[in-house]
């Protein structure tokens, strides 16, 4: 699939890669069909990775190109469970979750490498990776009993953990949520309230639920088969994903399922959201790379006025702007992740809000320009770009809206100003 030529500076190398790109087009009868075109390119990687990290990326990319490419862009909101099972069988599902609970035992940096690598081939599969969502919170804050119960099935692609934050009357303003946990005289905990827009409920055994304890906000693990849990309604969003609304009435929460509790504990929980924002950036970057690969292949193959449309300066400028945006976002993301890795702590709120906002914005721009390059071909229902366009729009809402990210950025600037170089 690829070969390498080392240079005198061992941190960098030229890589020759052969990768498949699916080209979709309409037949004369208006039917949507596609072909797979093989493109050879010589590139210089943007990162100086260790040998182990290079092997990780190459192996995951090879699996993704062999196993995921054929059905990429066609899942229509369905969870790509066969792909997750393939990753689990090869030891690449939950790479940053603890090894003793079935994960890979690597850092979040490696998880971000995997998410972007998979996303460049199949964004649906990257979206379903478990490293940065509810399993991350369980791994960071869960009791030993909770980790032993919930993480191994996730890492084996046998279960899913949802995360429930939004309520009918409390979305971005989490402090106004009404879901509460009452503590009985005997110390037992009972959860009551309502959650909405929760993804993955249909295939999840449990959810990490945000709620108010008497002393402040906290998080617990709630199992859906517990008495008092009622799934009220399922919604299908623009991307085709199912999101659910459920009601909880005096649902018993064992002490082993408490993750964080009270102001100090919840501050720690918020740190896991910084990793989630960085994971969102990796997903957006991988999807944007997938899209520019499609646009470049189409521009080089599609001919008008006696030449490939990619030879017209107008199309060249579109591709250049797309590449500029993607590379800037990727560089920012990896700089943040590498700093967090070296300092052995979660990334900061300011920088992760910046990269989450920027990566989501540029993804929508890149997909829009890719549709423009494809013209009527890319505007058809059933074309992957139409699908990715709907997916891209959701990235500016999920895991914190653009507006909340901007508020967070402005608040951080007012508190400490723009960070210095050193």
The answer to whether residues 96 and 103 touch, using CB atoms and an 8 Å cutoff, is yes
% of the chain exceeding 70 in pLDDT: 89
- pLDDT band of 305, cuts 50, 70, 90: very high
Of 293, 292, 291, 288, give the one whose Cα is nearest residue 39.
293
Collect all residues with Cβ–Cβ distance below 8 Å to 376 and sequence separation of at least 6.
26
Note the pLDDT of residue 26.
55
As a whole number, mean pLDDT of residues 157-180 equals 92
- pLDDT band of 43, cuts 50, 70, 90: low
Note the pLDDT of residue 255.
96
Q: Which domains are seen in the chain, by residue range?
A: 161-267 (2.40.110.10)
As a whole number, mean pLDDT of residues 30-34 equals 57
- pLDDT band of 11, cuts 50, 70, 90: very low
Burial pattern 48-72, b for ≥16 Cβ within 10 A else e, equals ebeeebbebbbebbebbbebbbeeb
pTM of the predicted model, to two decimals? 0.87
Of the given ranges (10-19, 166-175, 361-370), which has the lowest mean pLDDT? 10-19
Mean pLDDT of the chain: 89
33 has a pLDDT exceeding 70? no
Note the pLDDT of residue 171.
82
- Angstrom distance (rounded) from CA 203 to CA 159: 7
Tally Cβ neighbours within 10 Å of residue 273. 20
1 has a pLDDT exceeding 70? no
Q: What is the pLDDT of residues 193-252, one digit of tens each?
A: 999 999 999 999 999 999 999 999 999 999 999 999 999 999 999 988 999 999 999 999
- Angstrom distance (rounded) from CA 110 to CA 278: 12
- pLDDT band of 162, cuts 50, 70, 90: very high
66's tokens: 């062999």
8 has a pLDDT exceeding 70? no
Is the backbone of residue 158 left (phi > 0), alpha (psi -120 to 50) or beta? alpha
- Angstrom distance (rounded) from CA 348 to CA 161: 25
**CA-based R_g, the chain, Å:** 22
Q: 44, exposed or middle or buried, with CB in 10 Å at 0-12, 13-18, 19+?
A: exposed
């Amino acid at each position: 699939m690829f070969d390498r030529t080392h240079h005198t500076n061992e941190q960098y190398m030229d890589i020759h890669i052969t990768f498949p790109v699916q080209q979709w087009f309409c037949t004369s009868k208006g039917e949507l069909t596609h072909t797979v075109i093989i493109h050879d390119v010589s590139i210089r990687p943007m990162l100086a990775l260790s040998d182990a990290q290079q092997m990780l990326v190459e192996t995951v990319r090879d699996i993704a190109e062999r196993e995921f490419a054929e059905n990429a862009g066609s899942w229509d909101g369905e969870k790509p469970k066969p792909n997750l099972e393939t990753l689990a069988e090869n030891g690449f599902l939950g790479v940053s979750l603890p090894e003793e609970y079935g994960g890979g035992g690597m850092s979040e940096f490696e998880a971000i490498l995997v998410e972007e690598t998979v996303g460049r081939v199949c964004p649906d599969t990257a979206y379903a990776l478990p490293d940065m969502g509810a399993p991350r919170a369980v791994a960071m804050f869960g009791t030993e009993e909770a980790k032993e119960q919930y993480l191994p099935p996730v890492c084996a692609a046998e279960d899913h953990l949802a995360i429930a934050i939004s309520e009918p009357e409390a979305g971005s303003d989490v402090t106004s949520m009404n879901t509460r946990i009452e503590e009985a005289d005997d110390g037992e905990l009972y959860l009551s309230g309502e959650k909405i827009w929760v993804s993955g409920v249909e295939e999840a055994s449990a959810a990490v639920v945000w709620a108010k304890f008497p002393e402040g906000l906290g998080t617990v693990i709630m199992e859906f088969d517990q008495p008092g849990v009622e799934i009220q309604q399922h919604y299908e969003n623009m991307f085709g994903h199912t999101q659910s609304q459920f009601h909880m009435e005096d649902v018993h929460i064992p002490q082993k399922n408490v993750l964080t509790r009270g102001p100090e504990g919840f501050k720690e929980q918020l740190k896991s959201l910084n990793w989630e924002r960085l994971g969102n950036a990796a997903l957006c970057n991988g999807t944007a790379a997938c899209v520019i690969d499609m646009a470049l292949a189409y521009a080089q193959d599609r001919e008008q006025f006696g030449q490939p449309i990619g030879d017209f300066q107008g199309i060249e400028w579109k591709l250049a702007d797309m590449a500029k945006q993607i590379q800037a976002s990727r560089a920012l993301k990896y700089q943040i992740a590498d700093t967090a890795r070296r300092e052995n702590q979660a990334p900061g709120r300011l920088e992760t809000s910046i990269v989450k906002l920027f990566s989501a914005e540029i993804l929508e721009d890149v997909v829009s320009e890719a549709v423009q390059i494809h013209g009527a071909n890319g505007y058809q229902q059933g074309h992957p770009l139409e699908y990715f366009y709907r997916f891209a729009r959701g990235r500016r809402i999920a895991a914190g809206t653009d507006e909340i990210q901007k508020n967070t950025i402005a608040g951080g600037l007012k508190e400490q100003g723009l960070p210095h170089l050193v």
